[in-house]
Amino acid sequence: MKQINETEQKGMPLLGDDFPEMVVQTTRGELNLPLDYKGKWFVLFSHPADFTPVCTTEFIAFQQRYDKFKALNCELIGLSVDQVFAHIKWEEWIKENMDVDIKFPIIADTGKVAETLGIIHPGKGTNTVRAVFIVDSNSKIRIILYYPQELGRNIDEILRVVKAMQISDKNKVAMPANWPNNEILKDRVIIPPATDVKISKERLKNAKKGVFKCEDWWFCHKKLK
């Protein structure tokens, strides 16, 4: 397993890239990423610092939905540039004061991981931005989200996009805005646009047969079984 080397020049990871290989220390012991989660999805999310109010609300929200993520074969991993004992004490504070037991690992980063992922907050010292990397079961980065320090994340949205991407992959479909509560299509999914004249005509024929519904040849949708 190739570990992060401070002298290596790495560009920021992009959508579709393999998640960078790294060995990290966490509150649940050492992890080899992405190897230890091969065959699973995972959400790696960074926070600016331990013992801060917005981050505390986020961790509680993630934990309260942890079972829902696991039901999607998806793990959670936190990260900040803090030492492991700070993470542990923060977890203890959350348990003692908020009655929430954080059960997912938190990476204790020296700064190498944050630099590799390009998530050091400009002008904020060593603080990391509120970044989210959603990685699929083939270790590919599928979604990257960034938030400022002042804004806490919507954890239900992160859960939604994991579910949506898995359904998209399985069924070779696209997901409308606000799926599964789209204002027009509700929970229906979009069939990829036709790529030639023949397919476009077949789409309209199939629509007449009730196989799916088309607003036009380029805008067809169906309800998943």
Look up the CATH number of the domain holding residue 224.
3.30.1020.10
Q: Are residues 72 and 181 in the same domain?
A: no
∠ CA 210-215-216, nearest 5°, is: 100
Of 26, 41, 52, 27, the closest CA to residue 132 belongs to: 41
Task: Label residue 6 by pLDDT band (50, 70, 90).
Answer: very low
Kindly state whether residues 121 and 179 are assigned to the same domain: no
d(CA 142, CA 220): 24
Provide the residue range defining the domain that includes 179.
172-225
Contact (Cβ atoms closer than 8 angstroms) between residue 114 and residue 4: no
Residues 148 and 225 in one domain: no
Name the active-site residue from 55, 74, 214, 220.
Answer: 55
149 and 211 share one domain: no
**Extended beta strands in the chain, E state:** 22-26, 29-33, 41-46, 74-80, 106-108, 130-135, 141-147, 189-191, 213-216, 219-222
76 lies in a domain? Answer: yes
Planar angle of CA 39, 131, 55, nearest 5 degrees: 110
- Residue 67 makes CB contacts below 8 A (sequence gap 6+) with none
Residue 162 lies in a domain: no
CA angle 21, 27, 30 (to 5 degrees): 35
Residue 8 pLDDT greater than 50, yes or no: no
| Res. 148 pLDDT band, cuts 50 70 90 | confident
What's residue 36's pLDDT? Answer: 97
If asked whether residues 142 and 46 sit together in one domain, one would say yes
Catalytic residue check, 214: no
Residue 158 lies in a domain: no
SS3 (DSSP) at 130: strand
**Is 221 within 8 Å of 185 (Cβ atoms)?**
yes
Could you tell me the CATH number of the domain that includes residue 75?
3.40.30.10
The answer to the question of residue 139 being in a domain is: yes
Confidence of residue 125 (pLDDT cuts 50, 70, 90): low
Do residue 110 and residue 197 come from a single domain?
A: no
81 closest CA partner among 53, 116, 43, 30? 116
Among candidate residues 165, 136, 169, the one with its CA nearest the CA of residue 19: 136
Residue 167, in any domain of the structure: no
Q: Are residues 187 and 100 part of one domain?
A: no
pLDDT digits (tens, 9 = 90+) for 203-215: 888 888 888 899 9
Asked if residue 85 and residue 131 are part of one domain, the reply reads yes
Same domain, yes or no: 28 and 118 = yes
* Cα 185 from Cα 82, distance rounded (Å): 45
* Mean pLDDT rounded to a whole number for the chain: 91
Q: Give the pLDDT band of residue 69 (cuts 50, 70, 90).
A: very high
Using the predicted structure, report yes or no on whether residue 187 has a pLDDT greater than 80: yes
Rounded Cα distance between 162 and 72, Å, is 8
Q: Which residue has the tokens 């790529």?
A: 195
Q: Same domain, yes or no, for 113 and 180?
A: no
Q: How many domains does one find in the chain? A: 2
Whether residue 124 lies inside any domain: the answer is: yes
49 within some domain: yes
Same domain membership, residue 207 and residue 137: no
Q: Is residue 89 part of a domain?
A: yes
Q: Which residue would you say has higher pLDDT here, 121 or 158?
A: 158
Q: What span, in angstroms and rounded, lies between the C-alpha atoms of 134 and 6?
A: 24
Are both 32 and 143 inside the same structural domain? yes
Dihedral angle sign, alpha carbons of residues 41, 47, 50, 54:
negative
